[in-house]
Structure 1
Amino acid sequence: MKGLLIAIQFLTRLPTPRLAAVSSAEFAASMRWFPAVGLLVGVIVAAAAWGGGRLDGWSGALLALLLWVGVTGALHLDGLGDIADARGAAHKDRDRMIAVLSDPHVGSFAVVAIVLQLVAKLVLLHALIEAQAFLAIALVPFAARTGPLVWSRWLPDLHTGLGSRFRGAVRIGDLLLWGVLLAAASCWSPALLATPLFLLVWGWWLRCAIGGVSGDGHGAGIEVTESLSLFAALLWLQVA
């Protein structure tokens, strides 16, 4: 249970009981609980979408998006922006790309990527609210947070940093457990069956374009997977 609390503290701004000193091993092991935290975030976002949607679809979408960003503290949006800036600098050389990833300043590529991501989520949330697909909304953050478990096992570390601390913490049993739960969740939202494809494509892109995974790569991947999963849910509703 301590691992879950650590994961909640790391991935969200939700209040939790105060914990004693957390070791590096305990922090790394908390990654096993990331999908569970995603479900918690999803329930909050879906509840906001439902509540705001009682006024109109755009109000629900805006309230859901504001809570989505607020509950997570824009943690993953920061990673998306850093990856966008780093990729924009990659035409120079690898050292420059790594330096940009470590730079706390925000560049034009980051601003564009973050704005587009927020607009995409707002539009997709509105469409799903209009379709009354609140369960699909709730399950999207859960599905996206299975990604770091896969990427940390599959991809090499880009550099020594926050992301590298998760190396070796995820066991095969963890992947199997969350994989089974993801498959079970697809009974309520069949579009979740596309999640493994999204995770593989993002991991492949990170390996080819960036060279490995870091904390920023995990965060950006979660954001990208969330948007793709929202779109997949909407697409499923249109063709089902």
Structure 2
Amino acid sequence: MSLRGLILAVQFLTRLPTPQVKDFRDDDLSRAAVYNPLVGAIIGALLAMPLFLVADRPWLAGVLTLLLWVWVTGALHLDGLGDVADAFGAAHRDPQRFLEVLKDPRMGVFGVVTLVMQLLLKFVLLTELAASPLWSGIVLVPAWARWGTLWWSQRLPSLHGAGMAERFSWQLGPRAMWLWALLLAAVSAFAAWPLLLALLLVPLVAAWWRRKLGGVSGDCLGASIEVTESLLLLSLVLLGNL
């Protein structure tokens, strides 16, 4: 672990200002991936601010948090979700056709509709979360979702051979993944117990990708992050009053 790796992880996953890193190497992205959950927690801490500051106005808290979420991540994972939705919509269960459509930079109706529904879902869930006793769990939601990238990259092959998913797994060992799981689980058990669902949800996402495509791409990782975040928000909202 190094400061260089943390800076690269922040640069890749967010729009937050960071010092410039010189002499970027191909394996840097994989080495930096170990910081993904920490970067997720940083994102979550930023998202907690509007939920706390305007909690008495849930709709305003929800929309401000969503706007901040989209900005701080640069819509990186939303882009992956839209691309994957387009590919599934046009593939007609043909894996080769899926990969062809996935490479097309244009956004089709399947992607647009999926993004609208995803943003609407997150807005509603954030509005509900603003009034929930477990609102502070928002800090851990992006952290768990980005922990998922470590699991998916190690458990699934890359669809593109040398694509983003493959680059994540080059230098990544299981030790860091399990240490992050233990840390996030301990904090979640204390602060927001419904998020322990992530320990089941992340492997289920991996199993779904394996059955559907046999592997993942960078877009698949982004889509998985978005879906995982929404499901974890849903768990906080539905189980927060139990």
Same fold (TM over 0.5): yes
Q: Which deviations, in whole Å up to 9, do the C-alpha atoms of 1:112-137 show, x marking residues without a partner?
A: 11111111111111111012433111
TM-score, normalized by length of structure 1?
A: 0.95
Tell me the SS of whatever aligns to 2:215: coil
Tell me the SS of whatever aligns to 2:140: helix
| CA distance in 1: counterparts of 2:135 and 2:93, whole angstroms | 44
| Contact 1:87-1:210 at 8 Å conserved across structures | no
Q: Does the alignment pair 1:41 with 2:43?
A: yes
| Superposed displacement of residue 92, structure 1 | 5.9
1:1-240 equivalences under 5 Å are 1-54=3-56, 56-91=57-92, 93-159=94-160, 160-186=162-188, 187-238=190-241, 240=242
Tell me the SS of whatever aligns to 2:23: coil
| CA distance in 1: counterparts of 2:207 and 2:180, whole angstroms | 21
| CA distance in 1: counterparts of 2:91 and 2:108, whole angstroms | 14
1:42 is aligned with what amino acid? G
TM-score, normalized by length of structure 2?
A: 0.94
RMSD: 1.3
| Contact 2:77-2:225 at 8 Å conserved across structures | yes
| CA distance in 2: counterparts of 1:71 and 1:107, whole angstroms | 25
| Superposed displacement of residue 149, structure 1 | 0.3
| CA distance in 1: counterparts of 2:31 and 2:136, whole angstroms | 28
| Contact 2:158-2:216 at 8 Å conserved across structures | yes
| CA distance in 2: counterparts of 1:127 and 1:180, whole angstroms | 28
| CA distance in 2: counterparts of 1:236 and 1:169, whole angstroms | 37
Q: Which moved more, 1:45-54 or 1:121-130?
A: 45-54
Q: Structure 1: which 5+ runs fail to align?
A: none
Tell me the SS of whatever aligns to 1:145: helix
Identity %: 45
| CA distance in 1: counterparts of 2:50 and 2:21, whole angstroms | 29
| CA distance in 1: counterparts of 2:164 and 2:129, whole angstroms | 34
| Superposed displacement of residue 87, structure 1 | 1.1
| Superposed displacement of residue 216, structure 1 | 0.6
| Contact 2:84-2:223 at 8 Å conserved across structures | yes
| Superposed displacement of residue 37, structure 1 | 0.3
| Contact 2:88-2:98 at 8 Å conserved across structures | yes
Tell me the SS of whatever aligns to 2:159: coil
